[in-house]
Amino acid sequence: MPDPRALDVLVIVDVQNDFLPGGALAVPHGHDVIAPINRLARHFAHVVITQDWHPSNHISFATSHPGRTAFETIDVAYGSQVLWPVHCVQGTPGAALASALDVPHAQLIIRKGGDAGIDSYSAFMEADRRTPTGLAGYLRARGFARLFVSGLATDFCVAWTALDGRAAGFEVSVIEDACRAIDLDGSLARAWAEMEAAGIARIGGSDIIA
Ligand code: VGL
Ligand code: ZN
């Protein structure tokens, strides 16, 4: 019998110190994703981790735009961009994966947002919508078919990753109770509406672990 989990991947999005309480861009209750993710990860043979990984002069940082403040939206070359507090700067403790994350069998850590001039909420495609990260190629080369997405934040990097995974032809589920949201101006409801319209399943951890 083939292992029924052979085609499945758990994708753990941006569970990094800066997104946890006390971090530079803390997601409310962000630390609550760690225990469920650790539990879920034991049920997956294949796990991919993503890391937001910005240079210190990144275009998404309010500090890169004199006179602007965090959580404002501005227009940039590739469209609109929310400005954020400085977060997940390459090599800093804030960019490190949460130390309580216990997923030693993860096979790939993919870093995104490394180009100073382009943001990347999605682990598949940068915000210019033209520059791939290579994740789709990796997943296809491994023969995976189904993605189960978890992590931070539901309405930004989780949603964009799920949507681009679906657009790349994978079957995608988002594990709601293994995610937490920022919820900026209704962004959470919009993200779920877009994901549901795209055919992404909204599931709970109990749908995977009985
Ligand atoms: C994220 C805002 C800025 C996320 C990353 O991981 O959801 N949000 N950078
Ligand atoms: Zn970021």
Ligand 1 atom 4: residue of nearest CA: 157
Pocket test for ligand 1, best of 17, 25, 50 (most atoms within 8 A of CB): 25
In this prediction, residues 165-181 reach a mean pLDDT of 98
Token pair belonging to 111:
């870093």
What is the rounded distance in angstroms from the CA atom of residue 101 to the CA atom of residue 117? 30
- pTM to 2 decimals? 0.98
What is the rounded distance in angstroms from the CA atom of residue 14 to the CA atom of residue 178? 12
**From the CA of 113, which ligand is nearest?**
2
Compute the distance from residue 116 Cα to the ligand 2 centre, in Å. Answer: 11
What is the rounded distance in angstroms from the CA atom of residue 62 to the CA atom of residue 66? 8
Query: pLDDT tens-digit profile of 59-86?
Result: 999 999 999 999 999 999 999 999 999 9
What is the rounded distance in angstroms from the CA atom of residue 32 to the CA atom of residue 46? 22
3-state SS, 137-153, equals HHHHHCCCCEEEEEEEC
Compute the distance from residue 210 Cα to the ligand 1 centre, in Å. Answer: 31
Query: pLDDT tens-digit profile of 120-135?
Result: 999 999 999 999 999 9
What is the rounded distance in angstroms from the CA atom of residue 13 to the CA atom of residue 153? 8
